[in-house]
Amino acid sequence: AIDPNFDTNREKVGEENGVAVWGPVEPPEKLGIHGTHVAVDYDICLADGACLENCPVDVFTWVDTPDHPVSEVKVEPTNEDQCIDCMLCVDICPVDAIDVDAS
Ligand code: SF4
Ligand code: F3S
């Protein structure tokens, strides 16, 4: 599962598609955690899609991650600023790849 304390345990190494990326990042195998308020662990996400299909405010967007060992697409929390903290994505992800900081 995603580390809910990633923002203290990891370093922000850059931005992609307008969201923060938390390392380590060593493409194509290691892609880090994407997002801050809504965070997706790219090394855990297996592209189930339930988060994207069910988010009431369309926070997520598919992005290509060619040659990643787990899946070749991932969800980017591009609209994380719109999140209403319903926690649906956190509850529905089969591999616990998402953390939402509702505090
Ligand atoms: Fe969307 Fe709810 Fe997840 Fe926020 S917590 S990203 S609103 S599904
Ligand atoms: Fe990935 Fe989980 Fe969404 S596997 S696509 S973060 S439901």
In a domain? residue 1: no
Q: Mean of the pLDDT values across residues 20-31? A: 98
Task: Quick: pLDDT tens for 56-101.
Answer: 999 999 999 999 999 999 999 999 999 999 999 999 999 999 999 9
Give the pairing of strands 61-64 and 38-41.
unpaired
The tokens 């040659």 sit on which residue? 67
In a domain? residue 47: yes
In terms of residue numbers, what domain contains 85?
A: 6-100
Helix (H, G, I), strand (E, B) or coil at 54: helix
Q: What is the 42 CA–ligand 2 centroid distance (Å)?
A: 9
Total domains in the fold of the chain:
1
> Residue 18 belongs to a domain with what CATH number?
3.30.70.20
| For the CA of 97, the nearest ligand | 2
Are 65 and 74 a contacting pair, CB within 8 Å?
A: yes
Q: What is the 94 CA–ligand 2 centroid distance (Å)?
A: 7
Assess whether pLDDT exceeds 80 at residue 103.
no
DSSP state of 26: B
Q: What is the 64 CA–ligand 1 centroid distance (Å)?
A: 21
